[in-house]
Structure 1
Amino acid sequence: MIKKIDITNLKNAFEVLNIQIPSYKVEAEIIDYYDIPPLKDTVEKLQQCGEAFFGYYISGELSGVISIKIENDVMDIHRLIVHPKYFRKGIAKMLLDFIESNIEGIKTIIVSTGSKNFPAVNFYEKNGFSRIEEIKVNERLSLTNFKKQF
């Protein structure tokens, strides 16, 4: 079941952070770069980020999260995270499908991921996103930006 998460609620913010940290640790291992901002997030930062959060629950347990910001007719996916113990169960796809079909008036969705995060890159391409650009953040980190038009 997918439902909106009130991130200002302390318990909810802790639950999201408990998905985010293990999920981004896996990404850090994949891209061999551990200084990524999501690993430094705190409950307070999550509560103040201004993103809308939606969670995928299995038997009442939060197992995946997507967060977005919308400006005009553009949706920016800030996080699409699944707890590692729930990898390969289609949760990321269900969360993506949910926001695509439940948010009205969107003409474009944008998202970025570590360029070396091949599972994420493949996921976005498989789901209709096109590579827009690759940005070199530093010697060890590049991000790939994607866009999907409707």
Structure 2
Amino acid sequence: MIKELDLNLMNTLKEVYDLQRASYQIEAQLINFFEIPPLTEALEDLGACDETFLGYFEEETLAGAISYTVKEHELTICRMIVHPSHFRKGIAQKLLKKVEEQNQNISVLYVSTGKENLPAKNLYLKNGFQFVSDQEVVPGLYISHLIKEKHQPK
């Protein structure tokens, strides 16, 4: 089941925070960089972010989440979070699909991920995103930027 998450609720905020730390620890290992923002972010900062969160639940357990922002007709995926014990179950795919279903007026979607995070890059590429560029954000750390343009019916 996928539903919107309210990070104003402390127990929900804590669940997302713990899930994020577990998930991004794996990305940090993949890209060999452990100072990525989701690992250094304080609980209060997560709670104050201006992102919409959807959570994927297996029974009562939060197994995955996605967050995004919308500005006009552009959507930016900010976080894709899946608990390592739930990898390879299609959770990220379902979350991505749900975001697109709920935002059909969007004409452009953006996402960025670590250049060496091949599972994430492959997920986006197989869902119609196109590689744009790699950017060195700190010495030795590259982020891949991807875009998906949706053509609206006239």
**AA of the residue aligned to 1:5:** L
CA–CA distance in 1 between the matches of 2:8 and 2:103? 21
- Report how far residue 18 of structure 1 moved: 1.1
Identify the residue that residue 120 of structure 1 maps to in structure 2. 120
How do 1:40-79 and structure 2 match up within 5 A? 40-79=40-79
Give the CA deviation at 1:60.
1.1
> Partner of 1:16: helix, strand, or coil?
helix
8 Å Cα contact 1:25-1:34 kept in structure 2: yes
TM-score normalised by L of structure 1: 0.97
Match of 2:15 in 1: 15
CA distance in structure 1 between the aligned counterparts of 2:83 and 2:34, rounded to whole angstroms: 18
Structure 1 runs (4+) greater than 2 angstroms displaced = none
Which runs of no fewer than 5 residues in structure 2 stay unpaired?
none
1:6 aligns with 2:13: no
- 1:85-138 CA deviation, whole Å, 9 max, x = no partner? 000000000000001011231001100000011111111111110011111112
1:139 Cα shift? 2.2
Q: Distance in 1 between matches of 2:8 and 2:140?
A: 34
What is the CA–CA distance in structure 1 between the aligned matches of 2:138 and 2:66, rounded to whole Å? Answer: 27
> Structure 1: which 5+ residue stretches go unaligned?
none
State the number of aligned residues. Answer: 150
Secondary structure, counterpart of 2:148 in structure 1: strand
CA RMSD of aligned residues (A): 0.8
| Cα shift at 1:17 | 0.7
| Identity across the alignment (%) | 39
Distance 2:7 2:76 in 1: 17
Q: TM-score, normalised by structure 2?
A: 0.95
In 1, Cα distance between equivalents of 2:121 and 2:103: 23
The 5 A counterparts of 1:92-103 are: 92-103=92-103
* 1:77 match: secondary structure: strand
